[in-house]
């Protein structure tokens, strides 16, 4: 892990430095950013992408898998005057660069894939092509939809499948996604801290980190099994595992997400139990009690304005009742889902197409539920296809979990992810017609979980050493 951090940090700093020097020499490039610092980071990230993908490295898996996560931060730094939404090549560029790299690897290595893998990729492309071209929002999403659905996700599936055949794949994947988890957490803290100073309703950083708390929290759910399992395998597990638990706990607390508090915290406790011993659980419970007892003082110590954001999100939870029911009542999700159901009734077989809910619904990108969003956009065909994939993934994970208690965290992660995206917010592929964030992190992480479970089911994992 230390070599990976040093290598990544060095390349990152050099990339930003090169971008800064270019900006000093060519002032006209400053039109591409809101400020010199912001422009330097944006061009530095593009330079970083090119360098890490072109140069040979033992850490290539991390560079490829972390690219969509790092792009989450880039979206907030890019100039707002530039086109937002899925048609912005400015925002899609990191994905396009990664796609070119994966294509070159697959062509160069000439890997053979099974008939099942080929059929899955072909069906995915065919079904999603149909759902894209029938969308009334096609003009607003066509570039991003074709890029992520038809190119990026299939390429990640084939690329990860190819790498999973290597004996060191499980440990390399754990290491890569553990560092990705840490970077995402640290970035979340930064955005929450700096965003707390804004109290205007027009600035979403008050109650959202990395554009959308619900989106980010779903990523943490899927990244967590890799992070904690890697920590438990290191020689410093006595320190690494508790630190990760603290990190995840603080992410949940500072996310200002009601769904995170009521869904993710129990998941954190149960998953930690599945991969550790009773001592760590007792430590975790004591930490939780301390944080709960001193939460208000802690928030005010970090940043007094954070207390405002927390109150803004939880002040309406004054009555006693089921937590998830309260989430639906105070957020208006029930009405949004009713609109999605009415759209489904208009076209029950194939729905209205990907990205249609943003145009035909109340203006939101999704219906705050995977089921209702897919129902409205892809109809019964999409429901049967997507949930069939989830059922197959679940069966594979449960088969792996039968081999030991520590493996139970994999189906647990899938179950909590599905609970989250059905009750709090739909997080799968983000193809907005207007907003900034464009991403497909969730499908990539689900593919990682699938091939990881297959790998650890077939071979023991060597102990990691930092």
Tell me the three state secondary structure of residue 256. coil
CA distances from 64 to 2, 152, 255, 432, 433 (A): 18, 11, 26, 23, 26
CA distance 431 to 355: 7
Helix (H) or strand (E) holding 226: helix 213-233
CA distance 282 to 418: 28
Instruction: Give the tokens for residue 66.
Output: 């972390």
Tokens 């409205």 found at: 376
Distance between the two ends of the chain, CA-based, in angstroms? 5
Give the list of residues 6+ apart from residue 465 with CB closer than 8 angstroms, or none. Answer: 234, 235
Q: What share of the chain is helix, strand, coil (3-state, %, to 5)?
A: 75, 0, 25
CA distances from 38 to 212, 271, 317 (A): 21, 38, 38
CA distances from 239 to 235, 280, 292 (A): 9, 11, 22
State residue 134 phi and psi, 5-degree precision: -90, -5
Cα torsion angle, 164, 169, 170, 176, sign: negative
If we measure between CA atoms, which residue out of 449, 407, 393 comes closest to residue 173?
449
Tell me the three state secondary structure of residue 439. strand
Residue 417 CB-density burial (10 A; 0-12 exposed, 13-18 middle, 19+ buried)? buried
Residue 429 contacts residue 149 (beta carbons within 8 Å): yes
Residue 1 contacts residue 181 (beta carbons within 8 Å): no
Residue 287 contacts residue 452 (beta carbons within 8 Å): no
Tell me the three state secondary structure of residue 430. strand
Instruction: Give the tokens for residue 380.
Output: 């019964």
Residue 274 contacts residue 406 (beta carbons within 8 Å): yes
Crossing angle for the helix pair 441-458 and 169-195, nearest 10 degrees? 150
User: Secondary structure of 62-99 in the HEC alphabet?
Assistant: HHHHHHHHHHHHHHHHCCCCCCCCCCCHHHHHHHHHHH
State residue 439 phi and psi, 5-degree precision: -165, 165
Tens of pLDDT, residue by residue, the chain (466 residues): 889 999 999 999 999 999 999 988 888 777 766 678 888 888 999 999 999 999 999 999 999 999 999 998 887 776 656 677 889 888 899 999 999 999 999 999 988 999 999 999 999 999 999 999 999 999 999 999 999 999 999 999 999 999 999 999 999 999 999 999 999 998 888 777 666 555 544 444 444 444 456 678 899 999 999 999 999 888 888 788 888 988 898 888 777 666 677 888 889 888 888 877 666 666 666 666 666 555 556 555 555 555 555 555 555 544 444 555 555 454 578 889 999 999 999 999 999 999 999 999 888 889 989 999 999 999 999 999 999 999 999 999 999 888 777 788 999 999 999 999 998 889 999 998 887 788 999 999 999 999 999 998 766 555 555 5
Asked whether the whole model's pTM tops 0.75, one would answer yes
CA distance 295 to 2: 33
Q: What is the DSSP string of 32-54?
A: GSSSHHHHHHHHHHHHHHHHHHH
CA distance 95 to 103: 12
């Amino acid at each position: 892990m230390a070599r990976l951090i040093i290598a990544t940090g060095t390349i990152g700093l050099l990339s930003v430095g090169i971008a800064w020097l270019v900006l000093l020499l060519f002032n006209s490039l400053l039109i591409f950013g809101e400020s010199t610092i912001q422009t330097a980071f944006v061009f530095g990230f593009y330079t970083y992408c090119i360098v890490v993908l072109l140069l040979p490295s033992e850490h290539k898996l991390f560079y490829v898998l972390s690219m969509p996560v790092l792009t989450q931060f880039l979206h907030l730094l890019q100039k707002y005057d530039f086109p937002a939404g899925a048609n912005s090549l400015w925002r899609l560029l990191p994905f396009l660069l990664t796609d070119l790299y994966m294509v070159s690897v697959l062509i160069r290595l000439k890997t053979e894939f099974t008939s099942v893998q080929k059929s899955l990729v072909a069906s995915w492309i065919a079904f999603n092509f149909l759902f894209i071209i029938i969308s009334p929002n096609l003009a607003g999403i066509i570039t991003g939809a074709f890029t992520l659905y038809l190119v990026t996700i299939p390429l990640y599936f084939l690329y990860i499948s190819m790498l999973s055949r290597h004996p060191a794949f499980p440990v390399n994947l754990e290491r890569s996604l553990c560092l990705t988890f840490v970077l995402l957490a640290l970035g979340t803290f930064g955005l929450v801290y700096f965003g707390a100073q804004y109290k205007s309703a027009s600035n979403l950083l008050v109650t959202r980190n990395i554009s959308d708390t619900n989106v980010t929290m779903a990523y943490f759910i899927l990244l967590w099994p890799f992070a904690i399992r890697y920590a438990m395998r290191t020689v410093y597990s006595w320190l690494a595992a508790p630190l990760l638990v603290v990190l995840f706990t603080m992410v949940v607390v500072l996310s200002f997400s009601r769904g995170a508090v009521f869904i993710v915290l129990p998941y954190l406790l149960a998953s930690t139990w599945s991969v550790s011993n009773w001592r760590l659980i007792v430590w975790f419970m004591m930490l939780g009690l301390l944080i709960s007892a001193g939460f208000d003082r802690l928030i005010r110590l970090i940043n007094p304005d954070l207390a405002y954001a927390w109150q803004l999100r939880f002040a309406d939870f004054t009555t006693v009742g089921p937590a998830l029911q309260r989430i639906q009542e105070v957020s208006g999700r029930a009405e949004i889902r009713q609109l999605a159901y009415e759209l489904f009734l208009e076209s029950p077989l194939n729905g209205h197409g990907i990205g249609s809910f943003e145009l035909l619904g109340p203006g939101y990108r999704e219906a705050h539920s995977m089921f209702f969003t897919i129902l409205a956009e892809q109809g019964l065909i999409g429901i049967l296809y997507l949930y069939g994939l989830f059922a197959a993934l679940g069966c594979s994970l449960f088969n792996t979990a039968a081999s030991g208690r520590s493996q139970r965290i994999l189906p647990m992660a899938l179950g909590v992810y599905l609970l989250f995206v059905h009750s709090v917010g739909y997080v799968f592929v983000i193809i907005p017609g207007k907003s900034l964030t464009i991403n497909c992190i969730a499908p990539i992480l689900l593919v990682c979980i699938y091939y990881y479970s297959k790998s650890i089911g077939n071979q023991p994992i060597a102990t990691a050493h930092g």
